Amino acid sequence: MELTGEENIYQHAQVMGLSKEEIESKKQEIIDFADIGEHLYQPVKTYSSGMFARLAFACAINVDPDILIVDEVLSVGDMAFQLKCFKKFEEFKKKGKTILFVTHNVSDVLKNCTRAMILQSRKENI
């Protein structure tokens, strides 16, 4: 949490196995997608949940994963950011990539998913 947003970009990319050159080539795309302005140079502990989600999602999609797992991260972003993310989902789907999208928003599932699974917890009376 002490690292800046920019330092988090490097850390995330290194964990994902990218070389320094690969990170440098993707860094501006990540910064542009996250669109958090000068906050990028501040510790992430100062970020709102929406800003943190923007940066995390921007990092995740720019390492070119075969499988993208998105767990409720879009629920904290503003509408413009959510639309940008769903546009990126479409690009991933066209490339034949897999997206595991976990959400409580049935409308988002209907608009963006080709298959869905509903998980329901039942408390049994014992």
CATH number, residue 63: 3.40.50.300
Tally the domains of the chain.
Answer: 1
Establish if 105 belongs to a structural domain: yes
Give me the pLDDT at residue 126, please: 54
Q: What is the pTM of this model?
A: 0.82
Establish if 123 belongs to a structural domain: no
Strands of 16-90, DSSP E: 67-71
Establish if 121 belongs to a structural domain: no
Question: What is the helix (H) or strand (E) element at residue 100, kind and residue range?
Answer: strand 98-102
Establish if 120 belongs to a structural domain: no
Say how far apart CA 45 and CA 68 lie, in whole Å.
Answer: 25
pLDDT, tens digit (0-9, with 9 covering 90-100), for 47-69:
998 899 899 999 999 888 899 99
* Sole residue written with tokens 């408390």: 123
Say how far apart CA 25 and CA 32 lie, in whole Å.
Answer: 13
Phi and psi angles of residue 6, each rounded to the nearest 5 degrees, phi first: -60, -45
| Residue range(s) defining the domain that contains residue 61 | 5-112
pLDDT, tens digit (0-9, with 9 covering 90-100), for 24-48:
999 999 999 999 999 999 999 999 9
Establish if 39 belongs to a structural domain: yes
Phi and psi angles of residue 67, each rounded to the nearest 5 degrees, phi first: -130, 125
Question: Which amino acid makes up residue 47?
Answer: Y
Establish if 21 belongs to a structural domain: yes
Establish if 97 belongs to a structural domain: yes
Exposed/middle/buried for residue 93 (C-beta within 10 Å: 0-12, 13-18, 19+): middle
**What are the C-alpha distances in Å from 75 to residues 14, 65, 81, 83?**
27, 22, 10, 12
Establish if 99 belongs to a structural domain: yes
Give me the pLDDT at residue 97, please: 94
